[in-house]
C-alpha cells in the first residue's frame, strides 16, 4: 500500500505569552505607529465590551455577545484587509468592524434590537452580523465567486467559530472555495467553547485548520492572542488569494474570557482555574509588554488612551440612547416588494398594541 496524499498544519506565533518576539518580525512591525494603532483599537474594544455588558445588565441593551479575550484576532484580521475586501462576520467581531469603520453606536443599536444598526458607516459591501451558525461561510464563497467572475482583485473574509465548523454550511463553502480556487479566507476563531461544548467534544480532528484539506483548501494555525502573528498570517493568505492562489483556512487559537452571551453563565461548565490561566496570556497584556519593551508605549500614554476611550464610548452611548424608538413597522419593512396579506395582518396587529419600553430602558 502506498501513500497517495499527506498534509501538515503549520502554526505561527510571533509574540509569545510574555510579549517577546519569537521570530523575524514582518515588515509592518517596524512601523511603531501601526503597532500602537492596533493596540489602541484592542483597548477600545475591551473597554467598550465592558460598557456594553453593563448596559445589558442594567436593562439598557438587549442580549449582547462579548468579545473579551479575542481582540488580537479581530484587530489583526481587520488590519490585514483592504477597504475593497468584503467581511462576513458572525456576531462578536467588533474589533474588525471598528477598524473598518463601523461605529460603536451602530453596534449598540443592533443589540438593542434595531436592525438599522446594520446600516454601517463602514464599507457598504460588508455583510451584517450573522446569528445563524455557519450561513455566512457560503455567502462569503459566493461573493468570492463574484469577484472572480468580475475579474476584481478583492477577497472575502468569513469568520466562523469552532462550533460553526461542525455545520454543513461550512463544509459546503470549503468545497466550493477549493473546487473553484476562490479568493476567500475562512477565519476560525477557536476560543475553546461552542457555548458550553468544549472543542474536544466537538471533533476528532487534531486541528480545526485541517478541516479545509479535504476540500483542497490550505490550512494554518496562528496564536490568536498574538496580534502581530494574526496580521502576518492574514496578509499572506489574502495576498495568495488576490494573486489567484485560492482560499485558506486560518485557525486562530484564542480564549473566550467572558460568557458566550449575556444570557449565558460560563461558571456552570468552565473551571475557574482554566479561566484564570487564560487571563494571564490574554492579548492586551502581551501586546503592551512588547510595545513597552520597544519603548513605544508607557503609562502616561496608557492613561491618556483609556481616558480617550472612555470619552468615545460615553459619546457613543449618548448617541445610542438619544435615538428615537423605532416603530413596529420597521420589523416589516424591506421584506417584500408586494407585501402578502398575512404579513399586513401582523403589521396591523403590532400597530394596535402600545409600544412597551425602548432601547434606553
Same domain for 338 and 273: no
Same domain for 142 and 24: yes
Same domain for 338 and 256: no
How many structural domains does the chain have? Answer: 2
Q: How confident is the model at residue 123 (pLDDT cuts 50, 70, 90)?
A: very high
Q: Give the largest CA-CA distance in the chain.
A: 74
Same domain for 85 and 101: yes
Same domain for 333 and 210: no
**pTM of this structure:** 0.94
pLDDT, average across residues 334-354: 91
What does the mean pLDDT of the chain come to?
A: 95
Residue 213: which domain range?
10-323
User: Would 1 be classed as within a structural domain?
Assistant: no
Same domain for 113 and 219: yes
User: Would 106 be classed as within a structural domain?
Assistant: yes
Same domain for 343 and 266: no
Same domain for 25 and 162: yes
150: burial class by Cβ within 10 Å (0-12, 13-18, 19+)? exposed
**Predicted pLDDT at 297:** 98
Is residue 353 annotated as part of the catalytic site, yes or no? no
Is residue 256 annotated as part of the catalytic site, yes or no? yes
- Catalytic residue chosen out of the listed positions 260, 286, 288, 359: 260
- Catalytic residue chosen out of the listed positions 256, 286, 288, 359: 256
pLDDT, average across residues 237-241: 98
Q: DSSP 3-state assignment of 3?
A: coil
- Catalytic residue chosen out of the listed positions 20, 57, 82, 269: 269
Same domain for 124 and 47: yes
Q: How confident is the model at residue 360 (pLDDT cuts 50, 70, 90)?
A: very low
User: Would 2 be classed as within a structural domain?
Assistant: no
Residue 298 zone, left/alpha/beta (φ > 0; ψ -120 to 50; rest): beta
Same domain for 306 and 272: yes
User: Would 25 be classed as within a structural domain?
Assistant: yes
Same domain for 146 and 113: yes
Helices (H), 198-259: 199-202, 227-242
pLDDT of 174-214, one tens digit each? 999 999 999 999 999 999 999 999 999 999 999 999 999 99
Is residue 356 annotated as part of the catalytic site, yes or no? no
Amino acid at each position: 500500500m502506498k501513500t497517495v496524499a499527506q498534509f501538515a498544519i503549520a502554526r505561527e506565533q510571533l509574540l509569545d505569552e510574555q510579549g517577546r518576539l519569537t521570530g523575524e518580525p514582518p515588515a509592518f512591525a517596524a512601523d511603531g505607529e501601526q503597532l500602537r494603532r492596533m493596540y489602541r483599537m484592542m483597548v477600545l474594544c475591551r473597554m467598550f465590551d465592558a460598557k456594553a455588558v453593563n448596559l445589558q445588565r442594567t436593562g439598557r441593551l438587549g442580549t449582547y455577545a462579548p468579545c473579551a479575550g479575542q481582540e488580537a484576532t479581530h484587530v489583526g484580521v481587520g488590519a490585514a484587509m483592504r477597504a475593497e475586501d468584503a467581511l462576513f462576520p458572525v456576531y462578536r467581531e467588533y474589533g474588525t468592524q471598528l477598524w473598518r469603520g463601523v461605529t460603536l453606536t451602530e453596534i449598540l443599536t443592533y443589540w438593542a434590537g434595531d436592525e438599522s444598526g446594520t446600516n454601517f458607516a463602514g464599507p457598504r459591501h460588508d455583510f451584517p452580523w450573522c446569528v445563524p451558525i455557519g450561513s455566512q461561510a457560503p455567502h462569503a464563497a459566493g461573493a468570492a465567486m463574484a469577484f472572480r467572475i468580475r475579474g476584481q482583485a478583492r477577497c472575502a473574509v468569513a469568520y466562523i467559530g469552532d462550533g460553526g465548523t461542525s455545520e454543513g454550511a461550512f463544509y459546503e463553502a470549503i468545497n466550493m472555495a477549493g473546487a473553484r480556487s476562490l479568493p476567500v479566507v475562512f477565519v476560525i476563531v477557536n476560543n475553546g467553547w461552542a457555548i458550553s461544548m468544549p472543542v474536544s467534544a466537538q471533533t476528532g480532528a487534531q486541528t480545526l485548520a485541517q478541516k479545509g484539506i479535504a476540500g483542497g483548501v490550505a490550512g494554518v494555525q496562528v496564536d490568536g492572542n498574538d496580534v502581530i502573528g494574526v496580521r502576518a498570517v492574514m496578509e499572506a493568505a489574502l495576498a495568495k488569494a488576490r494573486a489567484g492562489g485560492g482560499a485558506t483556512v486560518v485557525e486562530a487559537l484564542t480564549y473566550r474570557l467572558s460568557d458566550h452571551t449575556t444570557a449565558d453563565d460560563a461558571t456552570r461548565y468552565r473551571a475557574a482555574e482554566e479561566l484564570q490561566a487564560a487571563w494571564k496570556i490574554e492579548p492586551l497584556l502581551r501586546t503592551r509588554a512588547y510595545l513597552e519593551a520597544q519603548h513605544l508605549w508607557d503609562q502616561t500614554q496608557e492613561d491618556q488612551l483609556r481616558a480617550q476611550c472612555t470619552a468615545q464610548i460615553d459619546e457613543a452611548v449618548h448617541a445610542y440612547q438619544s435615538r428615537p424608538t423605532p416603530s413596529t413597522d420597521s420589523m416589516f419593512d424591506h421584506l417584500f416588494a408586494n407585501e402578502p396579506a398575512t404579513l399586513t395582518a401582523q403589521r396591523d396587529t403590532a400597530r394596535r398594541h402600545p409600544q412597551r419600553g425602548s432601547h434606553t430602558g
